[in-house]
Structure 1
Amino acid sequence: MNYIQLAYKGRREIWMVLITAFLVGGVFLFNFIFYLTTDPSELDAAYDLMKQMPNSVSLFVNLVLFVPLLGLLFLLVRYMHERSILSLTTVRAKVDLGRVFFAFMMITIFTVGSFLIGYSVDSSELIFQFNLGKFAILFLIGIILFPFQIGLEEYLFRGFLMQHIGVIVKNKWFPLVLTSVLFGIAHSANPEVANIGFFKMMIFYIGTGFLLGIMTLMDDGLELALGFHLGNNLIGSLLVTADWTALQTDAIFKSTADPTMGLVSDLLVPVLVIYPIMLWILAKRYKWSDWKERLTGKVKEPVQENYKIIE
């Protein structure tokens, strides 16, 4: 049984899928509508209001909402869809924490390494602002709440939606494409989008969605996506902050650079060069094969399976 087929282990009526998606993912839909319908000056005012809070409070406010939402998703999957959380996570008999750790370390090494190279070349737009007390609070908030934030996004987009859309359309490529696009749109209200540009940031967000989706389908589980996403968000928040980013933190460094991203160097190179290299590393380590079938193949209902028994 592959990852998408795990949805057959529970109830999958379309009305149930829509209710779960709306109740849990409604906050992302609201953010997108807010972005489309709000005047740019009002968006700036909202961002400025958040900046008036202490960084630790602002970060807490931004992340704490994900705790009840992830809990709600788990409850709906367990009791309405009548399936286990393990079936939402992986085809393996138990969650492979080694995979989570490996992906976490891979993106951590890349993030820290690329930062150090950039810092050694030109540090003129970086301010060292390390404060032990503030950093300790940031670290505690980060290690406690970021798992809920990335957990909700992964379990919703690469988990619940990927599986149920795949079961509905009977293929793998469409849920991969759609969930990657939805993942990008879900971040449209972030201040980076307003400062850098919708088109540019969608290249990055949707490209990242494809990376995480490919990891999930090729590895038949969320473990790699969870580890990668956590490492990206946590290490990034601890290392560098800027006034124009979604999360204001008391990071070690603060960037004073203008909110610009080069289309080729900052967007296309990571998405089209760095991400494929990371997939190659994972493919070698976990011996992935049959890429075409795993990413574009048909989804068939398994035979002789008592789908409604929760493992």
Structure 2
Amino acid sequence: MYIEQAFKSKNNAWRYVLGTVVTIVAMFAGQIPLAVAVIFKLGVTADFGTMDEATMMSALDSNLTFFFLLLSFAIGLGALLFLVKNLHRQTFTELTTSRKKIDWGRFWFSFGLIVILNVTLILVDYFFISPQDYTINFNLVPFLILAGISIVMVPLQTSFEEYLFRGYLMQGIGIKTGYRWIPLVITSVVFGGLHYWNPEVTQMGDMVMVTYIGTGFMLGIMTLMDEGLELPLGFHAANNMVAALLVTADWTAFNTESIFRDVSSPVAGWDVWISVLVIYPLILLVYAKKYNWRNWGDRLFGKVEKPEVIETYGVADIEDLSEIREDY
């Protein structure tokens, strides 16, 4: 079982608290290159106190800004994986899945499904529903640079969020509370809540938070039902990559050299519930049929129980008994 993988590692509560704090600090430290680039571009004498964030971000080329924004997540991911290996003595595979090895087929199925779904929805909206809301934004060279950045950096950004919330915190909170639903609720609400400072919320209103928190729950359900991160990793990477490459807007977190630009001024209303109550359950149903998910109640609401140690230690291992007791 996926959460129970953490029992194989050093899982003291203080390790998870320290690991979380250090990871977040590392991510914020990863924003220093962006700040330095903006200062270098505008000059140290610029009055930053009177500038809003959008003005400062516009000082740089959009592709360069995009790269620096994603860099902070990449640094956070590196810090998290370093801590998992050296602070918790946990393998990358155990953080990723309950299977003996990572199932990349699951990742690519999820990635392909969400790319097809998102591209289809956007093109249907562009050609048949709201063509007036879009303008063509395509410029070959900037777009190719954006594509290169997206292919390399977007999966690092989304992987950071998945490994931190659906991986590290899901496992840590799960083994400490003893129930599966508690880390599902906590990680989903915190994940969604952190998006409150996104420019989309400023434009569309607080109601759009339903989508962010609902997305957190959907990804968490995927993780618990499928006993691994492969499906959420593919979903998240595909979702953000399509957002970066296909459609941008002045009010989105990813303001890129995409193919289309959304020139509308949307306000979130009842329609945000369509994604959470209709589209997301249908996506979960596809995964459930594909991977034969069973025992929904137990996997989502059951207890997290420490597995019994059945391994027999030989004479050569006697010196390590103190470590064995700590681990198990």
Aligned residues: 295
Matched, 1:295 2:300: yes
Give, in whole Å, the separation in 2 of the partners of 1:177 and 1:44: 37
Determine which of 238, 242, 245 is the counterpart of 2:245: 238
Alpha-carbon contact 1:51-1:248 (below 8 Å) kept: no
Name 1:160's counterpart in structure 2: 168
TM-score (norm 2): 0.86
Partners in 1 of 2:118 and 2:60 — Cα distance?
28
Corresponding letter in the other structure for 2:176: I
- Determine which of 126, 132, 143 is the counterpart of 1:135: 143
Q: What is the rounded CA distance, in whole Å, between the counterparts of 1:70 and 1:102 in structure 2?
A: 23
Q: Which amino acid aligns with 1:99?
A: R
The answer to which of 298-307 and 77-86 deviates more is 298-307
1:118 corresponds in structure 2 to: 125
Partner residue, 2:37: none
Measure how far apart 1:259 and its partner are.
3.7
Structure 1 counterpart of 2:45: none
Pairing partner for 1:183 from 173, 191, 197: 191
Deviation of the 1:200 alpha carbon = 1.4
1:205 match: 212
Greater Rg over alpha carbons, structure? 2
Letter in 1 for 2:296: W
Q: Which amino acid aligns with 1:92?
A: R
Q: Please say if residues 134 and 262 of structure 2, whose CA atoms lie closer than 8 Å, have aligned partners that are also in contact.
A: yes
Is 1:90–2:89 an aligned residue pair?
no
2:154 is matched with 146
Alignment check: 8 A CA contact 1:5 1:163 kept: yes
Closer, same or farther: CA 271–246 of 1 in aligned 2, 3 Å: same
* Separation in 2, partners of 1:182, 1:27: 19
Q: Relative to 1, partners in 2 of residues 1:305 and 1:54: Cα closer, same or farther, differing over 3 Å?
A: farther
Q: Does 1:264 align with 2:270?
A: yes
Instruction: Report the Cα distance in structure 2 between the residues aligned to 1:79 and 1:45, rounded to whole angstroms.
Output: 40
**Paired amino acid for 2:292:** K
TM-score by length of structure 1 reads 0.90
Q: Are 1:280 and 2:288 counterparts?
A: no
Question: Which secondary structure does the structure 1 equivalent of 2:132 belong to?
Answer: coil
Q: Which amino acid aligns with 2:164?
A: L
Distance 1:107 1:46 in 2: 31
Q: Distance in 2 between matches of 1:48 and 1:177?
A: 36
Alpha-carbon distance between aligned partners in 1 of 2:223 and 2:50, rounded to the nearest angstrom: 34
Instruction: Return the offset for 1:305.
Output: 5.5
SS in 2 for 1:243: coil
Instruction: Rate the CA distance shift 1:196–1:44 in 2: closer, same or farther, 3 A.
Output: farther
Structure 1 residues without counterparts, runs of 5 or longer: 31-41
- Name the aligned partner's letter for residue 285 of structure 2: W
Deviations 1:170-203 (A, max 9, x none): 0000100000011012222211122222x31221
Amino acid aligned to 1:165: I
Question: CA separation in 2, counterparts of 1:43 and 1:287?
Answer: 56
Question: Hey, what does 2:14 align to over in structure 1?
Answer: 15
Q: Percent identity?
A: 42
Q: Matches of 1:291 and 1:65 in 2, distance apart?
A: 36
Task: Report if aligned partners of 2:10, 2:89 keep a CA contact under 8 Å in 1.
Answer: yes
Q: Secondary structure at the match of 2:265?
A: coil
Paired residues of 1:218 and 1:294 also in contact (CA < 8 A)? yes
Give the SS at the match of 1:187. helix
1:106 lines up with 2:113 in the alignment? yes
Counterpart of 1:73? 80
The residue identity in structure 2 corresponding to 1:304 is: V
Question: Within 2, Cα distance between the matches of 1:200 and 1:51?
Answer: 28
Trace 1:22-37 onto structure 2 (pairs within 5 A): 22-26=21-25
Instruction: Tell me by how many angstroms 1:67 deviates.
Output: 1.7
Mapped partners of 1:283, 1:51: distance in 2? 44
Q: Structure 2 CA distance, aligned partners of 1:184 and 1:9?
A: 29
The Cα of 1:124 is off from its aligned counterpart by: 1.1
- Structure-1 separation of matches of 2:187 and 2:171: 10
CA deviation map 1:248-294 (0-9, x unaligned): 10000001101422x222x1000110000000000000000000000
Alignment partners' CA distance in 1, 2:207 and 2:2: 31
- Tell me, in whole angstroms, the C-alpha distance in 2 between the residues paired with 1:85 and 1:299: 21
**Matched residues in 1 for 2:76 and 2:177: separation?**
26
**Alpha-carbon distance, 1:125 to partner:** 1.8
